[in-house]
Structure formats: structure tokens, C-alpha cells
Amino acid sequence: MRTEAFMIASLLSAVLSYPVDLNIRDITSSNAESVYTALQQYYSESTGLWQNQWWNSGSCMTTIADLAAIDSNLKDDIVRVMENTYYQAPKTNADFLSDYNDDAGWWSLALISLYDLTQNTQYLSTAENIFSAMASTFGTTPCSNNSAGQGGIWWDEAHSYINAIPNELLMSVAAHLANRVQNGGGYRNIARRQWEWFRGSGLINSGNTINDGLDTSTCANNGGVVWTYNQGVILSALVELSTATGDSSLLSTAQNIASAAVEQLSDENGILHEPCESYAEGCDSDRTQFKGIFARSLAQLGKAGGGDYGDFLRRNAESVWGRSDDGKGVLGVNWAGPFAGGNASTTCSGLDVLVAALGT
């Protein structure tokens, strides 16, 4: 144990000695409050969405819930906004269900975070309903049986793809519910089975990162892009499953994935990048959201005792706030800067890392 802790500590200090010391300014709650205010210019009271984006708004609900949990100045306003969204968003997609299971996962987690803030069980029941729609293909896809277990769901109603994100979200929602609903044993069981399947699916590659999905005909890892959020959602899922089962080895597994992602997806100054930032066409409005999700989940892992990511998170928060902002709270997609335009998705993603750093 001691040797392992020492090795992890020296690995982290090796990873964290960067050539450039950013040392811009320390992130404060008032910085996060400015970003929240800027974010709200994109919020529509009538749709309950930010810039009319569907899944992104679900994810953004969890971002602001995490902010409310650490900033009592904002709590009442954030709960009001989230409750408004609870009533308005189903006008866009009834029962929070679109044709995509990952979208359902973001909304279910959003309502779980609203339950955590308010303890109102109505939100938890809706989260359970969303989950049961999401789980309707559990264990029945062509890639659902592997040597480790039976599980897995399709990405979409059209059954075109079996990918990492809806499958990580299914596990995460089940594990979150296991820790919150009374007699959550059924959810714990699904989360555990889903994890065994995920582990056996080949989605985690030999470098300990997670590719985009499976080849639907061979069921092998398709070698797709290693997106940041796919390294993040699994961390949160493993933390919750570890709580639900008491199995702390799940935290070590999460720690391996987290360190691999930090190392492989950060630049020489320790700033996290999405692979699409270097594409000619840049990042589309889905991908601009991903990094914040990774940061949020990394903070959760750190809080659960699965490693210390404080320096990494503060470094990234200081960078996005100091080098990739418009001076009025809007944050850009490239956290290393320079600011080249921003919107709801890029701002919400940047807010995630500010909140993660503040809470660490």
C-alpha cells in the first residue's frame, strides 16, 4: 500500500512539473459567479434550455447544481432555474426522451443532481423513469455477451451503434440511483453487471483510455477517437458503484483511467485539450462540452479518495479563466487560449472546471 501510494505520488509530481508556470490568478467563487451570470444570457425561460441545445442543457444542469452546492449565494437562483427547466424542457422532448440513450442519461443525472440539492423525491422518480427507458435494450444488443458478462445498450432508437457514452451513462445513472432510492439493490445489480460487461467489451484499450465505440459487426473496439468525456463519465460511475458496493478496488481502476487521460490528453503545460481542437473544422457543438464533463468527474474521484487532482484542476481553471475568456465571463473552447468566441456550451464546460477546482 505504502509503495503504491509513493509510486502514485511520484508519478503525479512527474506529471505536474510543467515547463511553464501559469500562475495567473487564483480562481475564486466570484469568478464562477461571473461565468454563471454570463451563461444565463443563453438561457431561455420558455424552453428551459441553453441556446436550445438538448443534451448539452442536461449536462449543464449538473454543472450548475455542483456550483449551487458550493456557493450559497447562487443556490436559490440555481434551484429556481433547474426547476423551471424540469417543467419546460419536456415541451421539446416529452418525458425527457429523445432518440438517443446518451441524451437520456444526461437528463437523468440532471434530475438526480436536482434531487440532491432539494431532496424532493419527485425529481428522483422522474430520473428513474428516464433510466428505465434508457435500459430497455440492456443485454440485448449483438455485442451484449462477452467473456466478462452480459450487458450493454444501443446508442439510439435506430440501433445503429454501440458506443461508450450511453453505456457509461447507463452504469452511472444506475449507480447514482442505487445510492439514493430506497431498496436500491436492483440498480446496484444493473450497475455492477453493466460494469462487468463494459470491462469485457474491449472499450478500454491497452493504454487505459476509452475509445468511442464498438464495431457493430465484429464487436471489437473500433479504435475511435479518445474523447475526454468518455474518460470522465466512467470515473463518476465507478465512484458511485464503489459507494454502493463498498468495493474500493473500483477506485483504483478509476484512478488508472484518470491518470492515463490526464497524461494523454493534456499539453506540455498540463492543460486539457479535446482532440477536435486541432481539427481544421474545430469542435462541433457537442464536442465543445466534453472537457468540463471530464473535469467534473475527476473532481468527484478526487473527493472520493481516488487520487489528488487539485493541481491539475486549478491549473486548468486558471488557464480557461485567465487566457480563454472574453473578459465578461464567457469562456472559449480552447482552455489554453486565446479566446476565439464562445457560447453556452463552451461556457458551461469551462464553468465545470472552475467549479471542480473550487470544490477540490
Q: Which residues in this chain contact ligand NAG in the complex, by CB under 6 A?
A: 51, 53, 142, 144-145, 150, 282-285, 288, 333, 341, 343, 345-346
In the complex, the smallest distance separating the C-beta of residue 236 from ligand NAG, rounded to whole angstroms, is: 24
Following DSSP, what letter does each residue of 157-223 receive, concatenated?
A: TT---EEHHHHHHHHHHHHHHHTTSTTTHHHHHHHHHHHHHHHHTT-B-TTS-B-SEE-TTT-SB--
Q: Which is nearer to ligand NAG, 140 or 259 (CB)?
A: 140
Q: Which is nearer to ligand NAG, 207 or 341 (CB)?
A: 341
In the complex, the smallest distance separating the C-beta of residue 326 from ligand NAG, rounded to whole angstroms, is: 12
In the complex, the smallest distance separating the C-beta of residue 274 from ligand NAG, rounded to whole angstroms, is: 11
In the complex, the smallest distance separating the C-beta of residue 63 from ligand NAG, rounded to whole angstroms, is: 16
Q: How far apart are CA 57 and CA 344, in angstroms?
A: 9
In the complex, the smallest distance separating the C-beta of residue 15 from ligand NAG, rounded to whole angstroms, is: 28
Query: Does residue 311 contact residue 358 with C-beta atoms inside 8 Å?
Result: no
Q: Which is nearer to ligand NAG, 12 or 148 (CB)?
A: 148
In the complex, the smallest distance separating the C-beta of residue 52 from ligand NAG, rounded to whole angstroms, is: 8
The burial of 246, by beta-carbon neighbours within 10 Å (0-12 exposed, 13-18 middle, 19 or more buried), is given as exposed
Secondary structure element (H or E) that encloses residue 146, with its range:
strand 145-146
Q: How far apart are CA 211 and CA 202, in angstroms?
A: 9
Q: Which is nearer to ligand NAG, 90 or 142 (CB)?
A: 142
Secondary structure element (H or E) that encloses residue 145, with its range:
strand 145-146
Q: How far apart are CA 108 and CA 118, in angstroms?
A: 15
Q: Which is nearer to ligand NAG, 175 or 276 (CB)?
A: 276
Distance set, CA 245 to CA 28, 178, 186 (Å): 36, 9, 12
Q: Which is nearer to ligand NAG, 140 or 179 (CB)?
A: 140
